[in-house]
Structure 1
């Protein structure tokens, strides 16, 4: 089953915003939630999400599948995910190109992978299993990383492109992650995006990052999701949309969550960029 989010701006839903959203009736295209926050059977989380689902398109974003892990996928977690997907029939489901569990231990982080043929085969198998179990195409998000592996023999964009070819999955392009990685590794974000398979992109993420320095005094960016989208990321986003056309675009703000009007304003900025690009293409 293939569904698609409406081509507009959305935000990550936070329960503290529910009353304001209900009163405001904002003209947003969709809301996104983290799957693992809604794997219980009922209660306020589901009551609120069910109300939102009556009006808005929905994206469910997973953070716990550990799709890049060396071991098999957690079948119990995948079963809970299927129940959630079946319950809400979201327009989009996505996960991360990362791993977060090993040997029965779960790490509260999304950890990087070496890009090798063996990793490619394993991740492709895991994507296939997820898509078969859920009965739908999933999107895979490019990661934010702070280290790179000497054993990597495949570029990240090539790795993502080959996963799309092998599995039929789509991609979630996180523009902030592109900028964070380019800064941390001293590479060129625009060169990365020049080869990106935009035809596979079903959703875009935008978020804030924290600036720091590493032990050698070099710039280090942390994908923190606790601040407004930075100006260089807005610039990259505008370039992506001008080239690839408008895509469903989400503001991620998961930490130090602001009042609703602040988050709504970020989404409105993204919506304005999407509208300008759409008008330019129609002219």
Structure 2
């Protein structure tokens, strides 16, 4: 079993987009690290890999997977896992993470991160999958909490306890997405602060922040959508402060994956994360 140790610096990071390449090289501060999606860098060469090699010489890199289907009912795709191993081998990132979700069934791939019930059976399956990933990559991974829009009647575990038990059994670390906590709390009607109080903050290797969209369900109740397409909302920044007061400084990533803004807008979000970290370093 692997034993997670944090490797990223407790600084703001941003999700890397190629249109920001020159801006990052010329004006990175306060950004201290970068995240990339694994599936975007599994090719054999070209400009994307050349840029990533150059950036990795200046910044710690976090690789974030979206296609392993850790929670899927079937076995992990060995070809996808082999491509991931190759990427991690040459890039040697400071961190690798995936989602507590599934996206495959038989030979079908769904372009979404789908929820699963929290039962003893799914717990065992997820732990087996994480063990396989960590054995192939020869390093511990981080597992991210999902954004939820429904709850399963058959669930017998609360999400923070479920994640804590996965980490205990596999030695993996955790990726705490604060926006996902807030989205799930509004959608399912629980206290985000109580969720954080039950979370294993000692095993958090990254914190993620992103934007969400506001909508209503069929009954007129608030419904939040984890969109990653706008600035981080003020209540999510407040929840981040609540986390940092209990965890101390952690690496904080700004995610902005759709309607990507010009660099100064994204950089300003990183500046705000830097101020939040400064508040717990005093």
Match of 1:24 in 2: 27
Offset at 1:239? Answer: 1.0
Offset at 1:28? Answer: 1.4
Match of 1:161 in 2: 164
Say yes or no: does 1:75 pair with 2:71: no
- Of 32, 40, 43, which aligns to 2:43? 40
- With 174-183 and 18-27 compared, the bigger mean Cα shift is at 18-27
Offset at 1:148? Answer: 1.0
**3-state SS of paired residue (2:259):** coil
Say yes or no: does 1:200 pair with 2:203: yes
Is the Cα contact below 8 Å between 2:6 and 2:205 reproduced in 1? no
Question: Aligned-pair RMSD on alpha carbons?
Answer: 0.9
Match of 1:53 in 2: 56
Match of 1:209 in 2: 212
Offset at 1:27? Answer: 3.5
Offset at 1:130? Answer: 0.3
**3-state SS of paired residue (1:72):** coil
Match of 1:250 in 2: 253
Match of 2:130 in 1: 127
- TM (norm. structure 2) is 0.97
> Where do 5+ consecutive residues of structure 1 fail to align?
none
**3-state SS of paired residue (1:173):** strand
- How far apart in 1 are the matches of 2:219 and 2:23? 45
Deviation digits for residues 142-190 of structure 1 (CA, Å, limit 9, x no counterpart): 0001111111111101100000110000000000000000000011111
Runs of 4+ in structure 1 off by over 4 angstroms are none
> Where do 5+ consecutive residues of structure 2 fail to align?
none
- How far apart in 2 are the matches of 1:228 and 1:190? 21
- Of 3, 8, 14, which aligns to 1:5? 8
Number of matched pairs: 279
- How far apart in 2 are the matches of 1:21 and 1:117? 45
- TM (norm. structure 1) is 0.97
Match of 2:274 in 1: 271
